[in-house]
Amino acid sequence: MVVGDFPIETDTLVVGAGPGGYVAAIRAAQSGQKVTIVEKGDLGGVCLNVGCIPSKALIEAGHKTQAAQGNADLGITTENVSVDFSKVQEWKGQVVNKLTSGVESLLKGNKADIVKGEVYFVDKNTVKVMDEKNSQTYTFNNCIIATGSTPIEIPNFKYSDRVLDSTGALNLQEIPDKMVVVGGGYIGIELGTAYANFGTEVTILEGTKEILGTFEKQLKQPVKKGLKNKNVNVVTEAMAKGVEESDDGVKVTYEVNGKEETVDADYVLVTVGRQPNTEEIGLEQVGIDVDDKGLIKIDKQCRTNVDNIYAIGDIVEGLPLAHKASYEGKVAAEAISGEKSEIDYLAIPSVVFSDPELASVGYTETEAKDAGYDVKASKFPFGANGRALSLNNTDGFMKLITRKEDGLVIGAQVAGPNASDVIAEVGLAIEAGMTAEDIALTIHAHPSLGETVMEAADVALGTPIHTM
């Protein structure tokens, strides 16, 4: 890093190069702004390096392992299936490296200056960027803060070689015989399922009455069935109390129904949420409003109370989703350029890469009714879909939420194979203001999982073809 008494000037400074920051930097550069992006870690942030991408790679390797075991229903049997987990990790690393190097190329291709270091705000137009040796002052006209989040560490579960956060779980060099997962949210379910597919004996401890608390109970039933089939022990209303570590394992103590229990394992994975990275970057120097959770308050254009500073991603209100951060990054960059872009989260999907996958977009039936809509919920089972049958993967359903008065599509929930892909069509329908009739009149390829959306639209219209 260049050290000097004179500040380096830039139009837009982006702090953080995760899926929010790097997308914001590219969009700002495309709008003609001179952009500098600062990242203290690796380009791509948590998502590309130790989150979304490596976890999905590990999940896919787990699916491949399960498939290699054969399927007696299909007349396929196998013997002596083995997993070289070091090779799995090597492949996962290649996936990550390809994407992170791609981010660097995209930033450079759009003429954004990449700077390594940590940012500390001096005032509303100035920051210090520091690395291990040097410090450099940067001045800017506008700034987009995208510093992301880190896993929450709970009392009596200090992270170590045996007490893991999600990063630690993704980087294990062995398949554990036993693992305890504290927290039944989407990260705990995804990673717990992945290791169960590798043959790990998994126990999930969830403090509330239900796993995956943000999803409808009916939607979660296929996931619960899948966990049971993998011999995953799910304990709800269980309060994790503490852990004893040894050289070769852990003993986790938890309380359930007023009784203290223990479970032994090789590792314990703690996934009880994430906290925003908004401390120690000098926000108080600028007077930026932060709530009691450390989240920065923003308006519809992602602007903070300081008019030239914007915030996006995990450091603002809402679910910590990579695609939410990217979306907000585009809005902030466009707002800086004088465009009228505003955030609208109605058509933003939530996905869990469980087994089967879960996906939701727009309103649920309950949310729609609470919002005052008179709605119709129309379901179509994957068991009646030709492609799902040919995949031998029929658990789950598509549920379409439409407004009764005109058939307007306002939401959908999917539990089933490739739900993360199937949900995209409904997101587009909501964004475009389409009706159930619009979807029903759209010719879908046969056989395909996407047909479940068309079939659910037929149900909404009262003219179902492949279900009663």
> Is residue 63 annotated as part of the catalytic site, yes or no?
no
Stretch 144-159: mean pLDDT: 96
Return the domain boundaries, the chain: 8-151+275-336, 163-272, 356-461
Region 401-409: mean pLDDT is 98
For residue 1, what pLDDT is reported? 42
- Judge contact between 36 and 14, C-beta under 8 A: yes
pLDDT, tens digit (0-9, with 9 covering 90-100), for 86-117? 999 999 999 999 999 999 999 999 999 999 99
Place of tokens 């942030």: 45
User: What mean pLDDT do residues 229-258 have?
Assistant: 97
Asked if residue 428 has pLDDT above 90, the reply is: yes
The domains spanning 8-151+275-336 and 356-461 adopt the same CATH topology: no
User: Binding site annotation covers 188?
Assistant: yes
Topology of domain 163-272 in CATH is: FAD/NAD(P)-binding domain (3.50.50)
User: Does the pLDDT of residue 2 top 60, yes or no?
Assistant: no
| Rounded Cα distance, 326 and 19, in Å | 5
What is the arithmetic mean of pLDDT over 194-202? Answer: 98
Q: What are phi and psi of 57, to 5 degrees?
A: -65, -45
Q: Is 149 annotated as a binding residue?
A: yes
For residue 336, how far is the Cα from the chain centroid? 27
pLDDT at 5 over 80: no
Please give the CATH number for the structural domain made up of 356-461. 3.30.390.30
Of 266 and 4, the one with more pLDDT: 266
Q: Rounded mean pLDDT of the chain?
A: 96
189 known member of a binding site: yes
Per-residue pLDDT tens for 109-127?
999 999 999 999 999 999 9
CATH of 8-151+275-336, one of 1.10.357.10, 3.40.50.300, 1.10.510.10, 3.50.50.60: 3.50.50.60
State mean pLDDT over 189-205.
98
Q: Between β-strands 178-182 and 163-164, what pairing exists: parallel, antiparallel or unpaired?
A: unpaired
Q: Tens digits of per-residue pLDDT, 327-346?
A: 999 999 999 999 999 999 99
Question: Which DSSP string do the residues of 266-308 spell out, in sequence order?
Answer: SEEEE-S-EEE--SSS-HHHHT--B-TTSPBP--TTSB-SSTT
Q: Is 102 annotated as a binding residue?
A: no
pLDDT, mean of residues 121-137:
95
- Is 206 a known ligand-binding residue? yes
| pLDDT value of position 468 | 86
* Mean pLDDT in residue range 425-432: 98
Q: Was 386 annotated as part of a binding site?
A: no
Instruction: Name the percent of the chain lying above pLDDT 90.
Output: 97
Candidate list 63, 323, 444, 446, residue with the active-site label:
446
